[in-house]
Structure 1
Amino acid sequence: MSRPENVKWVDGLRGFASVLVIATHITRAFFLDLMKPASHEGLPPKLFQYPFLRVLTQGRIGVAIFALVTGYVCALKPIRQVRGGDRNGMFNSVAKSAFRRVPRLILPTVIATILSWFICQLGFYRVAQKADSWWLNFSAPGMSPNIGRAIYSLLLELITTWTKGWNNYDHHTWTMLPLLKSSMLVFTFLISTAYCQTRYRMMVALALFVYFYASNESTFGMLPFFGVFLSDLSQDPGHQSWCNARKWPGRILSPILIVAGLYISSYPEAEPTWMPWSNVMLEWSHYIFPGGCETDRYYTALGLILIALGIHFSNAAKTFLSSKYLLWFGKHSFAVYLLHGSLLRWILAWMYFGVRLPGDIIVEGGGVQAAPNLQICGRFQFWALMPIWIGIVYLCAYYWTKYVDPWCARTTEKLVKYVFEEPQMNLDAEKRLLPQ
């Protein structure tokens, strides 16, 4: 059996992902042109419109990281048990993990939705609705006319989050449904291949990776199963011995893979024809990706795969991602993901646009004209207030992780103990079925 894989670096990578998700929503709210390779055709690009740096602001890779990590982590312990010959233990752990997965995703999401609903019904999103920002206007829900309608809308959004992947009170929770589906596909794969030889299990994981590549499911299909493959590969004794006996994969191959991955992930979301580098990538996409796909998401998935391989071959990269600071960010990543959108549309909007709403304008003839949108504050105030808001986000995430997450975990464990049979009960039942 191979030595247990150190997965601390995965938590550090998850911490990076949460920061990138915040960055992409700030960019969408206030710097939407950074999603393009240039502000206008023929103009030189801004600093964060260049390759590599734009990965930080467009932040699209953050959700992709969550998808890859889902496959990697869900498969890690079961594969370790199978490799150790403990298939019964693997069946038991997969059964409980699959059952826990549902309340551990649904309970926090429900609580975050209810909090956003309260904020909305108190009128705290009204500034975001009147702000001079397309993304804030789009993502800020309106107040309900009465309490009955408000309760109905809350129940509706709680349901559609898990049936249609849509939540009007928090658009960011659209990822919860595909992440839940991805984890269940991984658990099904693990059960189905429990008696496969190692090489064939890894081949099946890669076959499913190719299947989802051809099925236009780049983020929540390809990446989870590449995570499963990488989890299996990282625990293979022969592969570990090969890596430990050679220094060039970590010193030469790893930097090449990471740099190439960052460049590929830089593909812009809009107007790729405006710059030569992105136009070339657009032309290549017609030959390497299936028709009708979301090219930007495919390039993000491909780039992340190269980055993950680069990290896999580099002990230095794993050590960096396992630092106590990045682990702290990783510990609070789920809370940050759930809370930052509401705090952006509420507190940050108040910081940048004020708390007073302009009244409608009465024009000649007694008509009413809607007041103009609220204008954002000056540049100095913008950058001075941003760190304060980020501090508020992580402070809220800290208390969420300290109190809300443990409550969700305790509730889940109580549910598991109530629903699952005890091992001795299973053994007695099996004895009764044996022929006398």
Structure 2
Amino acid sequence: MSARPSQRNIKWVEGLRGVTSVLVIVTHISRAFDFPLFWPADEENGTPRLLQLPYLRIPWQGRIGVPIFAFLTGFVCSYKPLKLAYQQGNAPASLKSVARSAFRRPPRLILPALIATLISFVLSCLGAYTASNHCDSYWVRFDAPDPLPFRKNVQRLFRTSLTTWTNTENLFDRHQWAMRPLLIGAFQVYIVLAATIGMRFRYRMLVHVLLILYWLMNVNALTETFGAMLALGTLLAELAQHRPTQNFISAHQRVLTFIVAPLILLIGGYVGSYPAEHEDWAPWSHSLHKFLVDPAGDKSRGSFIVPKGSDVQRRTSAFFIMCTAISLFLSPAFQKALSHRVLIWLGHHSFAVYLTHGTILRTVGIWIVYGISGEPWEKAGKNEDGTRQEQVWLQSKGRPYKMVAILVFTALTYTAAWAWMKWVDTACARATQWLENKVFEEEDSGEGRAGFAEKGFAGAHMRQQSLAGGQSRPEPNGNGTTPVAQGPVGKPLPP
């Protein structure tokens, strides 16, 4: 049976977004309460725990949430314009869609992020992060804003509101570090779409493949996390509109679903299991290190997956995300599984989860495990001989408190995400829509009255409409030129 691109199921995209939001939560839970999950074992020559084994460790070790969001940004930002251009044959409408999407993207990211930062600022002023500042979890202490006098805290708020979008630093919510690269990445997609919208299919595909290779060959920071993932999303959005590709997938569903896609996932998952630290503590990770990172044994070269000088952890995770995306694209059964209404609900609330979960974890979650007051605690001073004393941090109350904290934190996060989408995100969407309506011409009116007025053709617009109905010719306008009247099909009317 032939596939019809117009009827393709792309709900899996929202489902994948929902799974990703869950992964972001679980990896931050492990960072806060069980950091050794990032290692292949708790100690050298130690027996690994179940969640430290290959494949099973992937959700807890992190590094995959943001790359998936980057891939989804590339796919979602390009899907509708490509559909307009190639499925409906309307390139002008596609370019207008790109223009409107590019206009909406900054306020739809900046406004919610700014509100989340403001909430964290208020909590900081109220001393809600004291326990996080004093606890024995280094990652939590690093993420929590340090206490400051009110005036300096206000100054920090204004600086942070700017630096989030200049150098990715947000001292009130460090999880927002990815907002700037995702915003820039969206515009990378828009530029590629505008530049290739008139190309033939094979050459557009060549552009996307070359972009992926360029970003993978580039060993600068985060190129594999954002650049390559964005280009892959655009590439798969192209193929989602390509009838021969969809016909091929439909004709070979069983082979792709039960053999090809699982094999790709298995290979990618093993590579993506590469630990964050202490890769020499387990035979499997040590072998993976020698194969991917140091195949020559003298650190003289890397591998195709991990070039010399690149970030090993991010490269291996990026390879896994690429394998996952390709597997999902090739398997309609996998797509159907991700289209479950629960996953779609999670996906709809994923951005709100991303903005709210860090603040809830550093307050309520930490309060349960360490106490609300963060006391008693004393800042380390100096010994009698002048050497610096070792800082003693607050110890957790024990494993049962951590389990309760995880349950309460998760419930509060999704409750907050629901409320955020119902009120905050809706308000931001309305503000963005109002601004868009003020800035852009109306969809069906061509160059509206406001546009003609700005160009000095305020009266000419009405005279054009009269001429289209067979009335008198226009008079010269204020610029000393006579506008050419347009007929109903866009051609100049005869004198």
Q: Same fold (TM over 0.5)?
A: yes
Q: Distance in 2 between matches of 1:318 and 1:89?
A: 29
How many residues were matched structurally?
434
Aligned counterpart, 1:190: 193
Aligned to 2:56: 53
CA distance in 2 between partners of 1:31 and 1:67 (Å): 27
| Percent identical | 38
* AA matched with 1:281: L
For residues 93 and 206 of structure 1, what CA distance do their matches in structure 2 show? Answer: 24
* Higher mean displacement: 164-173 or 34-43: 34-43
Does residue 1:173 correspond to 2:172, yes or no? no
Distance 2:249 2:259 in 1: 13
Is 1:151 paired with 2:158? Answer: no
1:285-300 matched pairs, under 5 angstroms: 285=292, 286-288=302-304, 289-300=306-317
1:148-207: CA deviation from partner (whole Å, max 9, x where unpaired) = 222111000000000001101000000000000111000000000010001111110111
Q: 2:118 aligns with which of 114, 117, 123?
A: 114
Contact 1:129 / 1:136 at 8 angstroms: preserved in 2? yes
Contact 2:11/2:344, CA 8 A, preserved across alignment: yes
Q: CA deviation at 1:303?
A: 0.8
Rounded to whole Å, the distance in 2 between the matches of 1:164 and 1:319 is 39
Match of 2:447 in 1: 426
Code of the residue aligned with 1:132 in structure 2: it is: D
8 Å CA contact 1:113, 1:169 repeated in 2: yes
Does residue 394 (structure 1) correspond to residue 414 (structure 2)? The answer is yes
Query: 1:359 offset after TM fit, Å?
Result: 5.0
Q: Using a 3 Å threshold, how does the CA distance of structure 1 residues 419 and 342 change in structure 2: closer, same or farther?
A: same
SS of the residue corresponding to residue 163 of structure 1 reads coil
Indicate the residue corresponding to 1:261 in structure 2: 268
Instruction: Tell me whether 340-349 or 243-252 shows the greater mean CA deviation.
Output: 243-252
Aligned to 2:478: none
Describe the SS at the equivalent of 2:94: helix
CA contact (8 A) 1:2 1:236 kept: yes
Match of 2:5 in 1: 2
Inter-CA distance 310–360: structure 2 relative to 1 (3 Å threshold): closer
- Gap change, CA 1:361 and 1:295, over 3 Å in 2: closer
Of 404, 408, 425, 1:384 maps to 404
Indicate how the Cα distance of structure 1 residues 89 and 362 shifts in structure 2: closer, same or farther if over 3 A, else same.
closer
- Hey, what does 1:311 align to over in structure 2? 328
Aligned to 2:250: 244
Which one is further off, 321-330 or 281-290?
281-290
Are the aligned partners of 2:380 and 2:392 in contact in 1 as well (CA < 8 Å)?
A: no
Deviations 1:278-319 (A, max 9, x none): 222222331213221101111111111111111112122111
* Residue in 2 that maps onto 1:62: 65
**In structure 2, the residue corresponding to 1:318 is in which secondary structure?**
helix
Partner of 2:479: none
**Separation in 2, partners of 1:195, 1:68:** 24
Q: 1:279 aligns to what?
A: 286
In structure 1, C-alpha distance between the alignment counterparts of 2:395 and 2:280, rounded to whole Å: 32
TM-superposition CA deviations, 1:373-426 (whole Å, max 9, x none): 221122223213321221011101110011111111000011111112335353
| CA positional deviation for 1:362 | 11
More moved, 418-427 vs 164-173: 418-427
* Cα distance change on mapping 1:94 and 1:41 into 2, 3 Å: same
Q: Unmatched 5+ residue regions in structure 1?
A: none
Change (3 A) 1:132 1:229: same
Using the TM superposition, name which of 354-363 and 392-401 deviates more.
Answer: 354-363
How far the C-alpha of 1:62 sits from its partner, in A, is 1.1
Which residue of 326, 335, 338 corresponds with 2:343? 326
Query: What is the SS of the residue equivalent to 1:178?
Result: helix
| CA–CA distance in structure 2, aligned partners of residues 371 and 274 of structure 1 | 28
Q: Judging changes above 3 Å, is the alpha-carbon distance between structure 1 residues 187 and 341 closer, same or farther for their aligned structure 2 residues?
A: same
- Give, in whole Å, the separation in 1 of the partners of 2:169 and 2:424: 23
Whether the 8 Å CA contact 1:105–1:180 is kept in 2: the answer is: yes
- After superposition, the Cα gap between the structure-2 partners of 1:408 and 1:353, relative to the gap in structure 1 and judged at 3 Å, is same
Amino acid at match of 2:224: S
RMSD of aligned alpha carbons: 2.3
SS at match of 2:447: helix
Residue 336 of structure 1 corresponds to which residue in structure 2?
Answer: 353
The structure richer in helix per residue is 1
Pick 1 or 2: higher relative contact order, CA cutoff 8 A, min separation 6: 1
Checking the alignment, whether the CA contact within 8 Å between 1:361 and 1:370 is kept in structure 2 is no
**Unpaired stretches in structure 2, ≥5 consecutive residues:** 293-301, 456-463, 465-482, 486-491
2:390 maps to 1:358: no
Tell whether the 8 Å contact from 1:20 to 1:60 is kept in structure 2 after alignment.
no
1:411 to 421, 431, 454: 431
Q: Secondary structure at the match of 2:5?
A: coil
- CA distance in 1 between counterparts of 2:168 and 2:200 reads 37
Moved more, 18-27 or 155-164: 18-27
Distance in 1 of aligned mates of 2:227 and 2:216: 8
Matched residue, 1:231? 237
TM-score by length of 2: 0.83
Equivalent pair of 1:182/1:221 in contact (CA under 8 Å) = yes
CA contact (8 A) 1:360 1:370 kept: no
Task: Return the match for 1:220 from 220, 226, 229.
Answer: 226
> 1 CA distance for matches of 2:132 and 2:32?
10
Following superposition, the deviation at residue 274 of structure 1 comes to 2.2
Whole-Å separation in 2 of the counterparts to 1:273 and 1:386: 31
Secondary structure at the aligned position of 2:55 is classed as coil
Deviation of residue 372 (structure 1)? 3.6
Aligned match of 2:488: none
- Cα separation, 1, equivalents of 2:391 and 2:246: 65
Q: Which residue of 1 aligns with 2:210?
A: 207
Distance (Å, rounded) in 1 between the aligned partners of 2:85 and 2:377: 66
Q: Is the 8 A contact 1:4 1:235 kept in 2?
A: no
